[in-house]
Each structure stands twice: as C-alpha cells, then as structure tokens.
Amino acid sequence: MTVAISKPLLAASLGLALTLPVAVTAADAPAFHADHGAYRPPYHQPTTLVEKVKRATAKYRDIKVALYEHWTPATPCVSGPNTGAMGVHFVLPERLGDASVHADAPEALIYEPQPDGAMRLVGVEFILFAGNWAAAHPEGGAPKLEGHLMNLVGAPNRYGLDAFYELHVWAWEDNPEGSFADWNTKVTCENQPLD
C-alpha cells in the first residue's frame, strides 16, 4: 500500500522536524560558560531571595573560583548544638565592614566537606556587625534582607566576634528546617579533616 503525501505537507513536516529539535535543545540545554564550566540556568528575573543567591553564587560551586577571588576560610566545619551543621564558612573580608547587605553579595559562602576531600557549596550567610548597623541606623530595629529579618548573635559568642546580625540562605542544599534556618540537618561535619 502506498500513501501519497502532498508536497506542501511534506515540506511543512520536514521544516518542522528540522527546526523543532534545535528549538527544544536550545531552550532546555544547560548553558555552560567560560567560568570553569559552571552551570548557568536559563535566564529569568530571579524573584525570591533563594533564587537571587543561587544566581549570584553559582560560579562558587567550584571552590577554586572562590579561592581565586580571595574568599578566605573563616571557620572549621560548624556543627549544630543538637543535630545538623552549617559547614565551613569562607568570607570575603572587604564585605564585612559595611552597614548593609545585598542579595547578590553575601559575606560568607558555606561549604560542606565531602568524603573525597572536596568541598560542596551548600549555602551562604549574610553578616552585619551590630555596631556598624546601629551607627548607620540610629532609629534602631533589626536589619532585614528582602523582607527576611536577620538574627542577632550577641557577644561573647562561640566565634569570638563582636555582636552581629546574620541570615543563612540554603540555596544549594535543601533544608528540612527551612531555607533560612541556622542549622541544616542534611549538612554534616563528619568529613572535616582532623588536622
């Protein structure tokens, strides 16, 4: 049995077949770029704090990029008082002395040590020293970032720092306690080197 297909229908079908895979591939394929092959999601205007942090920190999933840009280890792996952990904090010192926070410029990157010695980016921490905040905002009140109230950590504290405000954002590891909780029960310090 022979089926006859009209030339216009055949041309339209071939045209669609030739353009559709390219359109689907272009729209759905992950975009890689020169920043060490880091993933860059298809562009859309980020709307939530987690999305903004993820877009701003994607290149730091490769810790070599963070080290190249002078992020400095500030803590060993910080474990929770009962369960969970924060991880190893790397800070960018020039971001610590001001009286403001910005969604695309966290003061600390948080990495979880892996069994093979690698470090996996799990989140960030926004940090404001309370004295700097109070000097710039004599009207008082706690700082907020994108509507999220920052937490006050008084002095003295386990970090040996002056009182500071902080907000964690678990952009790269889901947290059953919530995206802005201090401790993440899915993060562990079990693989922290003992040196």
Q: What is the pLDDT of residue 82?
A: 77
Task: Please enumerate in sequence order all residues whose Cβ is within 8 A of that of 60, keeping only pairs 6 or more positions apart, or say none.
Answer: 66, 71, 109, 121
Residue 164 C-alpha from the chain's centroid: 21
Q: Which residue range is the domain that position 147 belongs to?
A: 46-169
- The DSSP line for 14-32 is HHHHHHHHHHHHHHHSPEE
Task: Please enumerate in sequence order all residues whose Cβ is within 8 A of that of 11, keeping only pairs 6 or more positions apart, or say none.
Answer: none
Q: How far is CA 91 from CA 23, 30, 50, 110, 140, in A?
A: 41, 29, 19, 9, 26
Q: What is the pLDDT of residue 19?
A: 32
Residue 164 is assigned to a structural domain of this protein:
yes
Taken in order 47, 53, 59, 61, the sign of the CA dihedral is negative
Find out whether the peptide bond into 156 is cis, omega within 30 degrees of 0: yes
Residue 36 is assigned to a structural domain of this protein:
no
| Domain count for the chain | 1
Distance CA 105, CA 59 (A): 13
The residue length of the chain stands at 195
Q: What is the pLDDT of residue 26?
A: 36
Q: What is the pLDDT of residue 195?
A: 59
Residue 130 is assigned to a structural domain of this protein:
yes
Distance CA 9, CA 110 (A): 57
Residue 23 is assigned to a structural domain of this protein:
no
Q: What is the pLDDT of residue 158?
A: 83
Pairing of strands 31-32, 108-113: unpaired
Residue 85 is assigned to a structural domain of this protein:
yes
Q: What is the pLDDT along the chain (195 residues), one digit of tens a residue?
A: 443 434 443 333 333 333 333 333 333 333 444 445 555 555 556 689 999 999 999 999 999 999 999 999 999 999 877 778 999 999 999 999 889 999 999 999 999 999 999 999 999 999 999 999 999 999 988 999 999 999 999 999 888 899 999 999 999 999 999 999 999 999 999 998 775
Residue 91 C-alpha from the chain's centroid: 13
∠83-87-88 over CA atoms, to 5°? 150
Residue 191 is assigned to a structural domain of this protein:
no
Residue 66 is assigned to a structural domain of this protein:
yes
Residue 145 is assigned to a structural domain of this protein:
yes
- pTM for the complete prediction? 0.75
Q: What is the pLDDT of residue 41?
A: 55
